[in-house]
Amino acid sequence: MLKPECAILPPATDRLTPELRIYALVSMGITDSVSIAEFLHYSPQTIYNYRLRVRHNACIPEKNFADAVAQMYADE
């Protein structure tokens, strides 16, 4: 769902970037930035900044990105 030049690749097979960790939680239904911040031990502003940066690099409209991620696993 990201532009090819903006793909987020994990640095190692057993590690996730902060962006991937955040959107893993979003895909599990945790969409509130404050809750995500508490879970990951980041500030809410940091979560907001990561989410904003990812949405700006999306191939779909920014306002639909979080819903699209949340729906990825909703039907399984």
pLDDT tens digits for 28-59? 888 899 999 999 999 999 999 999 888 888 88
Please state the domain extents for the chain.
Answer: 16-71
| Amino acid type, 48 | Y
Q: pTM of this prediction? A: 0.74
Look at residue 69 and tell me whether its pLDDT is greater than 70: yes
Helix extents (H) in 1-76: 18-27, 33-40, 44-56, 62-71
CATH assignment of 16-71, among 3.60.21, 1.10.3470, 1.10.10, 1.10.3430: 1.10.10
Which whole number is the average pLDDT over 13-39?
A: 88
Q: According to the model, what pLDDT value does residue 76 have?
A: 53
